Amino acid sequence: MTHKTIACEFADVAPLLDASAAAAAASRCHYCYDAPCIQACPTQIDIPGFIRKIGNGNLKGAAVDILSANPLGGACARVCPTEILCEGSCVRNHEGDEAVSIGKLQRHAADWAMARGEPLFRRAPETGRRIAIIGAGPAGLACASKLALAGHQAIIFDARAKPGGLNEYGIAAYKVVEDFAQREIEWLYSMGGIEIKTGLALGRDFTLDELRKQYDAVFIAFGLGGVRELALDGESLQGVMNAVDFIEQVRQADDLERVPVGRRVVVIGGGNTAVDAAVQSRKLGATSVTMVYRRGVKNMGATWAEQEFAQTNGVTIVTHAKPVRLIGEKGLIQGVEFERDNERFVIEADMVLKAIGQTLVPIGVDKELLTLDGSRIVTDENRQTTLAKVWAGGDCATHEGLDLTVQAVQDGKLAAASIDASFELTAIKAA
Ligand SMILES: Cc1cc2nc3c(=O)[nH]c(=O)nc-3n(C[C@H](O)[C@H](O)[C@H](O)COP(=O)(O)OP(=O)(O)OC[C@H]3O[C@@H](n4cnc5c(N)ncnc54)[C@H](O)[C@@H]3O)c2cc1C
Ligand code: SF4
């Protein structure tokens, strides 16, 4: 593929609405009383409220509604699977009609606010409280932003070179294009009260105990840093890799033409990550991409819209097939043997991407903080852990929703509110 063709393939998947398209989209909202879309949004944005403001040309008011409920409203407008969240519950979402374009309208107002460059919110006076946050992904950033607004200082530590978490390293390149993740962080940063220290990892450069002693509170938001293995022979063959590593290469590439991709790619898994890896392989020029999932389409983590997106991008989806063997020759992957209904078949491949789930890496975290199987950090409904002065949220913690950017943002918000309230309680006790 030529340089130009690849660039087109990775262009923004949902381009911006212009002013007249936004006004037309806004006019379709019924402004429901008790709007179901608000309940379906994990951050509970006042959706009819911001849409009405867009309709009246009040973009600033709309942006305030969105970004006060969801500090990463720009990212969420791009990455939320709206078909199972806000738009999925829109009353217009029935046969012969379609849901209001809530995600696109949200992006219209949030992007307007970011382009203006000025902070929308003013911080409360400095309180002198300092909170350490481990992880600069959506959960950590949302928590920092809310704490900073309340007048506290949020100091974020992140193991990687760039902040943003999966917004920077994981989300498909055509959903969050160019340097949007970094621009959004700059915008949050411009409000003041947030410091980000990169290249510093819990368990390697500092301990939880040190943070508890040095700071007034700690929020753990380090996501899921490990990946599940297939535990099959041949996993170390050349051409077999973790889908998240492949996606990271795509996201961080200066030149997409140089990202190595197979001609025949097999992606094992049925979630978001599998779809993103499969579609991006196709966009990079793979001639055949097959996504293989061990159960049926209904059980897939990828929503119906994502499955459809994969198929319209030339990905073949095979269901009810379990990988049993990775076949190689001279150290190179040649194909994968699958089993379905006691029958075996082989799909030839020169690249295999494993997307069967991420796992918690509990380095630096006491065992007592974790669930029995060690898969998550246990929190209450306010994201408080069992350890005094420590909160946790986002993918690394137990929460009622799915592992999504918008849920991580909500976790960060809830933790910030609980941390802030705990200071008031301390003040009352000390008085
Ligand atoms: C490939 C992929 C595609 C996805 N696509 C979507 C999508 O389209 N829409 C959607 O809503 N959700 C999507 N998700 C899910 C979403 O990205 C996550 O739910 C969300 O990023 C979780 O946020 P978080 O802040 O908890 O963790 P993360 O975003 O993972 O951030 C954690 C941060 O902690 C840092 N860290 C890790 N360990 C340490 C340590 N020991 N010390 C210090 N820092 C540390 C990491 O460097 C990282 O910056 C996708 C996930 C993946 C993997
Ligand atoms: S944050 Fe996501 S779920 Fe909530 S209204 Fe916006 S697009 Fe919908």
| Of 358, 378, 399, the domain-final residue | 358
User: In which domain, by residue range, is 390 found?
Assistant: 130-225+360-430
Residues 263 and 214 in one domain: no
CA count, 13 A, side-chain hemisphere, 25: 22
Write down the residue that tokens 């590439």 correspond to.
Answer: 253
How is 168-195 classified by DSSP, letter by letter? Answer: HHTS-TTTS-TTHHHHHHHHHHTTSSEE
The response to whether residue 45 sits with its C-beta less than 6 Å from ligand 2 reads yes
Q: 5 lies in a domain? A: no
Residues 233 and 337 in one domain: yes
Of 9-13, 14-18, 110-114, 236-240, least confident by mean pLDDT is 9-13
Q: What is the pLDDT at residue 11? A: 81
Do the Cβ atoms of 185 and 231 come closer than 8 Å?
no
Do the Cβ atoms of 239 and 333 come closer than 8 Å?
yes
Q: What is the pLDDT at residue 94? A: 84
Q: Rounded to the nearest whole angstrom, what is the distance from the C-alpha of residue 256 to the centroid of ligand 2?
A: 30
| pTM for this prediction | 0.96
How far is it, in rounded angstroms, from Cα 230 to Cα 275?
18
How far is it, in rounded angstroms, from Cα 265 to Cα 211?
44
Which amino acid, residue 2? T
Which atom of ligand 1 is the closest one to the Cα of 406?
Answer: 11
* Residue 269, pLDDT above cutoff 70: yes
Sign of CA dihedral 354, 300, 275, 176: negative
The response to whether residue 410 sits with its C-beta less than 6 Å from ligand 2 reads no
pLDDT digits (tens, 9 = 90+) for 91-101: 999 888 999 99
Q: Rounded to the nearest whole angstrom, what is the distance from the C-alpha of residue 103 to the centroid of ligand 2?
A: 6
User: What average pLDDT does range 220-224 have in this prediction?
Assistant: 98
Q: 124 lies in a domain? A: no
User: What average pLDDT does range 315-326 have in this prediction?
Assistant: 97
* Residue 1, pLDDT above cutoff 80: no
Q: What is the pLDDT at residue 6? A: 77
Write down the residue that tokens 């293995």 correspond to.
Answer: 229
* Residue 306, pLDDT above cutoff 70: yes
Please write down the long-range contacts of 204-212, taking CB distance under 8 Å and 24 or more positions apart.
204/159, 204/363, 204/364, 205/157, 206/157, 207/364, 208/364, 208/365, 208/366, 208/387, 208/390, 211/132, 211/134, 212/387, 212/388, 212/389, 212/390
Residues 240 and 218 in one domain: no
Nearest alpha-carbon partner for 326 in 234, 243, 413, 420: 234
Residues 366 and 219 in one domain: yes
How far is it, in rounded angstroms, from Cα 222 to Cα 201?
9
Q: 65 lies in a domain? A: yes
* Beta-ladder partners of 130: 153
User: What average pLDDT does range 127-150 have in this prediction?
Assistant: 98
CATH number of the domain that residue 191 is part of: 3.50.50.60
In Å, how far from its chain's centre is CA 51?
A: 24
* Residue 431, pLDDT above cutoff 70: no
Residues 317 and 234 in one domain: yes
Residues 178 and 189 in one domain: yes
* Residue 417, pLDDT above cutoff 90: yes
Q: 125 lies in a domain? A: no
Q: Strands of 6-150 (E only): list them.
A: 130-134
User: What average pLDDT does range 97-119 have in this prediction?
Assistant: 94
CATH number of the domain that residue 82 is part of: 1.10.1060.10
Residues 53 and 137 in one domain: no
The total of structural domains in the chain comes to 3
Nearest alpha-carbon partner for 352 in 255, 249, 278, 416: 278
| Of 319, 337, 358, the domain-final residue | 358
Residues 245 and 349 in one domain: yes
Query: Which residue lies with its CA nearest to atom 3 of ligand 2?
Result: 41
Q: What is the pLDDT at residue 428? A: 67
Q: 8 lies in a domain? A: no
How far is it, in rounded angstroms, from Cα 224 to Cα 362?
9
Q: 244 lies in a domain? A: yes
pLDDT digits (tens, 9 = 90+) for 371-385: 988 899 999 999 999
Q: Where are the alpha helices (DSSP H) in 81-137?
A: 102-116
Q: 56 lies in a domain? A: yes
Ligand sitting nearest the alpha carbon of 156: 1
Burial label, 405 (beta-carbon count in 10 A; 0-12, 13-18, 19+)? buried
Four-CA torsion 17, 22, 28, 32, nearest 10 degrees = 110
Q: Which two tokens stand for residue 337?
A: 């043997």
User: What average pLDDT does range 266-281 have in this prediction?
Assistant: 97
The DSSP bridge pattern shows strands 332-340 and 322-329 to be: antiparallel
Q: Rounded to the nearest whole angstrom, what is the distance from the C-alpha of residue 30 to the centroid of ligand 1?
A: 35
Summary mean pLDDT of the chain: 95
pLDDT digits (tens, 9 = 90+) for 329-348: 999 999 999 999 999 999 99
Q: Rounded to the nearest whole angstrom, what is the distance from the C-alpha of residue 95 to the centroid of ligand 1?
A: 35
Residues 354 and 238 in one domain: yes
Residues 108 and 169 in one domain: no
| Of 358, 386, 419, the domain-final residue | 358
Of 2-16, 24-38, 380-394, least confident by mean pLDDT is 2-16
Residues 305 and 424 in one domain: no
pLDDT digits (tens, 9 = 90+) for 147-171: 999 999 999 999 999 999 999 999 9
The response to whether residue 85 sits with its C-beta less than 6 Å from ligand 2 reads yes
Residues 259 and 338 in one domain: yes
Strand order of the β-sheet with 153-158 is 194-198, 153-158, 130-134, 217-220, 390-392
In Å, how far from its chain's centre is CA 251?
A: 14
Do the Cβ atoms of 196 and 136 come closer than 8 Å?
yes
* Residue 3, pLDDT above cutoff 70: no
Q: 247 lies in a domain? A: yes
